Structure 1
Amino acid sequence: MKAAIAGFGVAGAARLSAYDRLAGVDVVAIADPSPARREAAGQAGIRAYADLAELSAEHAPDVVDVCAPPGHHRDLALAALASGSHVICEKPVAFRTADALGLAEASRRAGRLLYPAHNYLFSPMMRLLEECAADAGTPRTVCFHIERQTHARGNDAYRPDWRRDPEIAGGGILLDHGSHCVYMAARLFGERPAKVSAVARWQSEGLDESIDVRLHFPSGIADIELSWVGDRRTNHYILAGPTSSVTITDGTAVLTGPGGDEERSLESPTHSSTHEEWFADLFADFTTRLERPASWVGPLHDIVSTAEVIEAAYTSARQDGQPVLLRQD
């Protein structure tokens, strides 16, 4: 399989490293507007282009992996689909419902798979949360608490503070960290939230630097608490139901049930913020779905659902926390 990477910053370079560990896939080229990043790709032995259209015309990749910032996801994904490539796209694939629906339609029209790089679904943490959810019963509660002292920096050769630029980032910490929480919550509950409420603290650029989101599911509640202005760096997750619970704090999990408490370590062997070690399972799911076009509706549903929740959360936050009802299928 021939792959190309669109966007060769922090995420794109990490993705190249992840592809290098896979059999049966060859990264033939990258596209990036930065001359310095194209030079870095060339030093790694990879053909580099300033424009995805030129890359696609010359190499006709089977899959384009979109690793650019969120503000570029829509246009890059549409271009790749139109050129005949399947697409893997970083989260969130879209942060507006209309864009998500348009991308889903473009995928169906092109007969190509559009697949969200929802890598946390393949993490040890998520597997443990799913294990607990199966036994916890209902109603259940889920809480994601993610705290940082500032935003993650981008590549110095591009714009290291692009996460503070609304045109490029599309949103603040809700898009950056919260996207993962949104799709994880949907998977853990196995249903769509009925309504969303949120309150936010806004940066001078108009982006959310902290936000608390509540997802109201038919079978429980998910709280997402995010901050770029915290006192420390920490990740804290809780899933609790009538019969059992699990608490995960920075790589250490404590399960509580009828038999007592059990502690487990979930420390990453690489300690990489880009989590390349999860990509093999994600890519295996992608390639399995390629052979089963009837399964393509699942990723498209996840893309649209995530965009709907993000858009509803921002609407609620700008209306002082007024709940926003979501459409039900």
Structure 2
Amino acid sequence: MDSNEALHAGIVGAGGIAPPHIEGWLALGAEIAILRRTGAQELAEQHGIRVVDDLDELTEWSSIVDIVSPTTTHLDVARRAFARGRHVVCEKPLAVTTADAVMLAQEASDAGVRLFPAHVVRYFEGYQRMKEGLGSIGTLLELTFRRTVAAPDSAWFYAEDAGGGLIRDLMIHDLDQALWLAGPVAEVSATQDPPAVNGQVMPPVSAYATLTHANGAVSHLHADWFGPETVFRSEASVVGVHGELRFDTAGSGEAREGYLPPASDIDPYRAQLADFVDAIRTGRDARVTPEDGIAAVRLVDAAYESLRTGRPVLL
């Protein structure tokens, strides 16, 4: 896809994360179509985009397929896009299991197309500044992350055995941040309160994880799904031998209810999609690679294994 080629974004999924993706594509001048699902018609009317009834038709029309549907659908939708030679943007987590995430990355490579895991937090200004400032604080010692949001509306989010779960859906943002800021992880330990019952977790619920990084740094992560009135909040601190870096959404932008971040002058969803499009056109790596997506899912798998056994998991 060169710079003169029309950008056609095919959206698969019409849930709460679809609008910021649609708005990001529109800001980039893309033509957009969305697969007919519950809520798709309303989104189409709101944003002036068209609805397509058939996934194969949507994929054929698209230059990039943007998957924002439930996690269990990612594998099939992405494979069908690869089979038609289409690039794929895939909301986090890349897949339900590490094995499936590895498979997706390999199949994209085999098809000669690009796969972009949508870990949007890497495009938030505050987290970018933390990444850029790491050199000023010396050897990393301790990282702390907390993410609190209103629990989602759709039931599938609460089925840990079917692609949902607090750690898989929400904490994965900060698992990815821990990897991005402090590097590979050697050990994972996790707890959840209250624990899932028969694979189902019910809010209010909190999860906690401790990561021991290969370089000796330790990350502490805390994620919450609370009531519908909850205002999104994300906090992070990174401590090194020479100082500390901090970020808190409570002090940046306009707070809003739900599970989307505060508004800001730089839209991270647009920045993310712009990075992906430029990576396709130039052949360079995007800020988030398939390997990054795989690494985050691997930590999710380890966290759930720790929940199951009650013991730390070595990687």
Name the SS for the 1:318 alignment partner.
helix
Uncovered stretches (5+) of structure 1, i.e. residues with no partner: 154-159, 253-265
- Give the distance between the partners of 1:162 and 1:37, measured in 2 at CA: 18
Residues 250 and 286 of structure 1, relative CA distance in 2, 3 Å threshold: closer
1:5 and 1:67 in contact (8 A); partners too: yes
| Structure 1 residues 174 and 277: CA distance shift in structure 2, 3 A | same
Match of 2:4 in 1: none
CA distance in structure 1 between the partners assigned to 2:49 and 2:161 by the alignment: 29
Aligned residue identity for 2:171: G
> 1:188 matched to which residue of 2?
181
**Would you say 1:216 and 2:212 are equivalent positions?**
yes
Q: Which residue of 2 aligns with 1:26?
A: 31
Secondary structure (helix, strand or coil) at the match of 1:84 reads: coil
Checking the alignment, whether the CA contact within 8 Å between 1:95 and 1:310 is kept in structure 2 is no
After the TM superposition, which residues 36-55 of structure 1 pair with which residues of structure 2 at under 5 Å, given as runs?
36-38=39-41, 40-41=43-44, 44-55=47-58
TM-superposed deviation, 1:137: 1.3
Question: Aligned letter for 2:273?
Answer: F
Q: CA deviation at 1:92?
A: 0.8
Contact 2:13/2:34 (8 A) holds in 1? yes
Aligned with 2:167 (options 174, 185, 190): 174
Quote the Cα distance in structure 2 between the aligned partners of 1:304 and 1:117: 12
Give the match for residue 258 of structure 1. Answer: none
| Equivalences, count | 298
Q: Which residue does the alignment assign to 1:200? A: 192
Q: Distance in 1 between matches of 2:213 and 2:103?
A: 26
- Per-residue deviation, residues 129-167 of structure 1 (Å, max 9, x unmatched): 21332211113211111234x5122xxxxxx33322446
Correspondence 1:1-329 to 2 at 5 A: 1-23=7-29, 25-27=30-32, 29-34=33-38, 36-38=39-41, 40-41=43-44, 44-57=47-60, 59=61, 61-148=62-149, 150-153=150-153, 160-166=154-160, 170-189=163-182, 191-201=183-193, 202-204=195-197, 206-208=199-201, 209-219=205-215, 220-229=217-226, 233=231, 234-252=233-251, 266-268=252-254, 273=260, 277-293=267-283, 295=285, 299-320=289-310, 322-326=311-315
1:305 Cα offset (Å): 0.6
> Which residue identity is paired with 1:215?
L
TM-score, with length taken from structure 1: 0.81
**Is the partner of 1:295 in helix, strand or coil?**
coil
Distance 1:229 1:55, change over 3 A: closer
The CA deviation string for residues 160-193 of structure 1, in whole angstroms up to 9 with x for no partner, is: 333224465x13111222111011111111x211
| Aligned-residue offset at 1:317 | 1.2
User: Once structures 1 and 2 are overlaid, which stretch shifts more, 210-219 or 307-316?
Assistant: 210-219
Any unmatched runs of 5+ in structure 2? 1-6
Q: Taking structure 1 as reference, are residues 33 and 312 closer, same or farther at Cα in structure 2, changes over 3 Å only?
A: same
SS of 1:302's equivalent?
A: helix
Superimposed CA distance per residue, residues 59-96 of structure 1 (whole angstroms, 9 cap, x where no aligned partner): 2x110111112221221111111121100111111231
The question of whether the paired residues in 1 share the 8 Å contact of 2:13 and 2:68 is answered with yes
Query: Would you say the 8 A contact 1:95–1:308 is kept in 2?
Result: no
What is the alpha-carbon distance in structure 1 between the residues aligned to residue 71 and residue 135 of structure 2?
A: 33
For residues 106-126 of structure 1, the C-alpha deviation after alignment (integer angstroms, 9 at most, x for no partner) is 101110000011111110121
The 8 Å contact of residues 38 and 49 in structure 1, kept in 2 or not, is answered as: no
Query: How many Å separate the matches in 2 of 1:118 and 1:248?
Result: 18
What residue is the counterpart of 1:263 in the other structure? Answer: none
1:180/1:221 CA distance change after superposition, 3 Å: same
Structure 1 letter corresponding to 2:223: L
* CA distance in 1 between partners of 2:185 and 2:73 (Å): 27
What TM-score, normalized by structure 2, do the two folds share?
0.85
State the SS of the aligned residue for 1:112.
Answer: coil
Amino acid aligned to 1:73: H
For 1:255, the equivalent position in structure 2 comes to none
> Which segment drifts farther, 3-12 or 288-297?
288-297
Letter in 2 for 1:278: P
Classify 1:183/1:65 alpha carbon distance in 2 versus 1 (closer, same or farther; 3 Å): same
Query: Higher mean Cα deviation, 46-55 or 229-238?
Result: 229-238
CA contact (8 A) 1:95 1:306 kept: no
CA distance in 2, matches of 1:244, 1:315: 34
Query: What amino acid maps onto 2:211 in structure 1?
Result: L
Q: RMSD across aligned C-alpha pairs, in angstroms?
A: 2.7
